[in-house]
Structure 1
């Protein structure tokens, strides 16, 4: 999947995934009183290929939430994993409507084989370097951009994939190099982060997400694949920091500036997963372009303390500088997604 993470973290996420499916009646395999378990080929051949989609990084914190919601909506899910150990573990479980394949984000042909036969792709992968100070380096941003290009090229190579939902980040929208008096009053789906300020401030996670999303749009414009991008804030939820520590830490680089300007926003993982499914199902009609996804803007000290406590950070890491009259206060606007999800009430 293109994710660089520790073996312990990898195994933890995989175990979480399998346990989740085991406790969900809808997604556990129905053996129909057969004496023997069905083979992997038998399960795959019984999929409804009209509702077969592929999820990259499907055993990550966000990927797991998306997979479960897809299954609950009646989809069959092919999970792209990056090593044989994960592949065999998933195959041992024999879950209904879930298959797994190995795919390298650096190899277009590998991705083509993973996507071929699917009707849509949910690209949620991120590159995480546990050795990095923030968990994310400039080099990983470049890798993520290349992976983004490969994913879109692989989608276009298939005869089946016509839709891709791409997980970007709110960080790809908020960083601007304007003087305070010139800063926009609203950040919405039309807003783009300026790469130069990310480089100046060493905001590598924001830079990587921005470059990756722009690369995806470039390839989409040259192909027949329809693309929509979701730009979530800091993804939270039950034990989010324990289950997804490095991307959470990387996201918070620059948190002081985000807080001062009113741009530090969070979103529950379930909301992000719902947004992905809603957008995907509306892509044949109204859904298009980019969607900002957040459910809370951090504006009060008590909220800062809450986030800092959950992440094991000192409050000063987020709100060490007092607000002043020269600090621009920006409104984050997610009305585009809110309107779509209110119409697509079946997604909740």
Structure 2
């Protein structure tokens, strides 16, 4: 087992990893930087497979090129360039996002069935200043071209918002969204959201590696749920939880569509029910004193 961190010397970033069962025997940490060429050479040397999951998730930035695009794009190419040079690497699993799928022109409508053939439009992302989506689509497009040019067996996963129990001791953006709902906030100004369970997403990564026939892209996404549906579930599961009322009168931007997840289910993955995911999310937040 191999895990990479930008700084293995930062104990706050690594303590929870070193505490995992079997970490002492099977986990190695390496210092690496997405923007440094050859930074991953030592970590990837001798590996059979590489999971590239690291890319900043930010929706408010002052310098999109530096904060989002360079780490996503240059980081991906730096990792793949090392994979090209290490003969033991048989497959690369790249974590992209539904952000690289859904930003299109004309906009996706309620009658559209989104599948793995849908790609976001970089020009539209620039025009609308959707910098996160731009970083993901530029990185994924570059990865596909690099893999094609260099004969790399690569599988790409496109998850959306993710919930479920936290491994790290700090909030990430997706789970912070659940906390926002509890506090009566709706930062994306949407009535409907789609979440996947982090354990399902992790399992898809493993299946994408261990299934020889796995290929191309795999969208990982849950059903449409309104903010009020999510809040109602939480109130029933945790009646003692102080949940603020949401503002029903606010005008919300919507992009409701149907998403086909048959391809990922064909890997043998059964999605965790949203009720279970939300329950385990709140339990985890409470255990880590984040709620």
Which runs of no fewer than 5 residues in structure 2 stay unpaired? 181-185, 235-240, 271-291
TM-score norm. by structure 2 comes to 0.72
For 2:219, what is the secondary structure of its paired residue?
strand
Supply the distance in 2 between the matched residues of 1:3 and 1:306 (Cα, whole angstroms): 37
Residue 109 of structure 1: how far off its partner (Å): 1.9
**Match of residue 101 from structure 1:** 30
Residue 241 of structure 1: how far off its partner (Å): 9.9
**Match of residue 93 from structure 2:** 165
Find 2:250's aligned residue among 308, 312, 320. 320
Specify which structure has the bigger relative contact order, considering alpha-carbon pairs within 8 angstroms and separated by 6 or more residues. Answer: 2
**Match of residue 266 from structure 2:** 339
Supply the distance in 1 between the matched residues of 2:74 and 2:249 (Cα, whole angstroms): 35
Is residue 149 from structure 1 mapped to residue 82 from structure 2 by the alignment? no
For 2:56, what is the secondary structure of its paired residue?
coil
Q: State whether residues 135 and 247 of structure 1, in contact with CA within 8 Å, keep that contact through their aligned partners in structure 2.
A: no
Residue 3 of structure 1: how far off its partner (Å): 5.6
Residue 247 of structure 1: how far off its partner (Å): 6.3
**Match of residue 112 from structure 1:** 41
Report the more deviating stretch, 99-108 or 241-250.
241-250
Supply the distance in 2 between the matched residues of 1:319 and 1:196 (Cα, whole angstroms): 33
**Match of residue 216 from structure 2:** 289
Deviations 1:108-127 (A, max 9, x none): 32222321110110001122
Find 1:301's aligned residue among 228, 236, 239. 228
Q: More helix per residue: 1 or 2? A: 1
Supply the distance in 1 between the matched residues of 2:269 and 2:108 (Cα, whole angstroms): 35
Distance 1:305 1:202, change over 3 A: farther
Is residue 267 from structure 1 mapped to residue 196 from structure 2 by the alignment? yes
Supply the distance in 2 between the matched residues of 1:313 and 1:177 (Cα, whole angstroms): 36
**Match of residue 116 from structure 2:** 189
Q: State whether residues 73 and 135 of structure 2, in contact with CA within 8 Å, keep that contact through their aligned partners in structure 1.
A: yes
For 1:122, what is the secondary structure of its paired residue?
strand
Supply the distance in 2 between the matched residues of 1:213 and 1:107 (Cα, whole angstroms): 19
- What pairs up with 1:120-269 in 2 under 5 angstroms? 120-127=49-56, 133=60, 137-143=64-70, 144-178=72-106, 185-239=112-166, 243-246=170-173, 255-256=188-189, 259=191, 264-269=193-198
Q: State whether residues 175 and 193 of structure 1, in contact with CA within 8 Å, keep that contact through their aligned partners in structure 2.
A: yes
Deviations 1:164-210 (A, max 9, x none): 001111111111120577x8611111111112232233222221111
Supply the distance in 1 between the matched residues of 2:204 and 2:33 (Cα, whole angstroms): 26
Supply the distance in 2 between the matched residues of 1:136 and 1:292 (Cα, whole angstroms): 29
User: Could you say what the CA RMSD is over the residues aligned between the two structures, in angstroms?
Assistant: 3.8
Supply the distance in 1 between the matched residues of 2:149 and 2:214 (Cα, whole angstroms): 19
**Match of residue 50 from structure 1:** none
Deviations 1:274-321 (A, max 9, x none): 000011001x2x1000001123432462226779xx9x99845x9933
**Match of residue 14 from structure 1:** 14
Which runs of no fewer than 5 residues in structure 1 stay unpaired? 29-94, 344-348
Distance 1:124 1:210, change over 3 A: same
For 2:116, what is the secondary structure of its paired residue?
coil
TM-score norm. by structure 1 comes to 0.61
For 2:40, what is the secondary structure of its paired residue?
helix
